[in-house]
Amino acid sequence: MLLLLLLLVLFRELCCPGESTVAPQTLGSHHPAAEEALSFRMLQISSFANHSWVNTQGSGWLGELQTHSWDNIVGNIRFLRPWSQGDFSKQELKNLQALLQLYLRGFAREVQTYASQFQLEYPFVVQISAGCKMHTAKASEILVNAAYQGLDFLSFQGSSWVPSPTAGTRAQNVCKVLNHYRDIKEIVQSMFGHTCPRFLAGLLVAGKSELERQVNPEAWLSSGPSPRPGRLLLVCHVSGFYPKPVWVRWMRGEQEQPGTQHSELLPNADWTWYLQATLDVAAGEAAGLSCRVKHSSLGGHDIIIYWGGYSILLILICLMVVVTLVMLVVVDSWFKKQCSDNFISSHVSRTSFAMGANTQDTRASGHQFCLAQESWIIKRFLKKRKASLKQIW
């Protein structure tokens, strides 16, 4: 614990002298991502396999968007966006990086040293979320929490460490020890009460254009695994939109279907979001349903996709069927015309020579010949169509 204290005292020397005189920059109240973006957090996940092995992952988050990661091997901060440095100078960032290196090394060592005293049993995972939230330009809040084995363990409240009510005596003991070190508490307050809001304000200004961008969603339908026999699970996928707020419903006409279920909003790799809305319906009732999507990027022009309709393949097939039918009708009437012309001419020419008795026969055989020709052409025609239909399928 003494080592940790020494390290933390060193941090204070390293970190941004005179920072307390710098007030956070004024923030526009207009920020669209206001609810989410006004916090900056550093996440640390340390997995302790045994008394000599620990793996730590670190990352930085503006609201729910990852802006930084920690390179464990080199021990430096990776800036994931062009504006991830905010308005901090190179020197300030170098100091922060050195501070994080010392902290992470010191943290692992201290936890391993005190593991048996606090009855931490290998393997275990410690997760720490440390950052700040901005309410107004002047008022910010410190957000520092730790979890042990995935459960709340302790947090920093006001100016001291508070055990989580559900974490038992172990957390109480750790907090008792931590609260003895005034310097550590002062550093946490300075780091997350001053440096962090200042960094956050700089990030919001530097990343403004990207944070305020509007990206259209794309939507498509599919069917999910059938919930029960005779039922269909309709799935409406909506992806690639930014910012996060989105409205997706299954509709029949203007009527919202109350059974619409939403997945969680999932992040895409390109800083956009994905959501799916599902509806469990009787197989016979799916026709006429549509998925409707509202999003700020669409400017009131909602996306509406109908179930079972408007697929390009379907349109092509319908088109081909219609064309085939029209051609059949045309071919049919052409033949009928040809045949009746033939009949008339042959009939007229024959009647001029032979009268009466065999007139009926001539008419019948001529007509049969035409019918045979006609059906042969239709068959050939249909065969070709079938072959090309097969190719499409």
Interacting residues with ligand NAG (CB under 6 A): 49-50, 52-53
Give the integer Cα–Cα distance in Å for 344 and 147: 98
The residues facing 145 across adjacent strands are 129, 155
Give the integer Cα–Cα distance in Å for 19 and 196: 11
Tokens at 319, concatenated = 């088109």
Minimal distance, residue 176 CB to ligand NAG, in Å:
30
Tokens at 266, concatenated = 């999932």
**In this structure, are residues 277 and 237 in contact, taking their beta carbons and an 8 Å threshold?**
no
Q: Cis peptide leading into 163, omega within 30 of 0?
A: no
In the bound state with ligand NAG, the residue whose beta carbon lies nearer, of 52 and 360, is 52
**In this structure, are residues 99 and 15 in contact, taking their beta carbons and an 8 Å threshold?**
yes
Minimal distance, residue 114 CB to ligand NAG, in Å:
18
In the bound state with ligand NAG, the residue whose beta carbon lies nearer, of 49 and 151, is 49
Give the integer Cα–Cα distance in Å for 86 and 96: 13
Q: What is the DSSP letter of 285?
A: G
Minimal distance, residue 45 CB to ligand NAG, in Å:
16
Minimal distance, residue 48 CB to ligand NAG, in Å:
9
Minimal distance, residue 47 CB to ligand NAG, in Å:
9
In the bound state with ligand NAG, the residue whose beta carbon lies nearer, of 107 and 307, is 107
Minimal distance, residue 121 CB to ligand NAG, in Å:
14
- The tally of CA atoms less than 13 A away on the side-chain side of residue 48 is 25
In the bound state with ligand NAG, the residue whose beta carbon lies nearer, of 55 and 268, is 55
In the bound state with ligand NAG, the residue whose beta carbon lies nearer, of 115 and 137, is 115
In the bound state with ligand NAG, the residue whose beta carbon lies nearer, of 51 and 180, is 51
Which residue is associated with the tokens 């593991």?
115
The residues facing 45 across adjacent strands are 57, 127
The H-or-E segment that residue 326 falls in is: helix 312-353
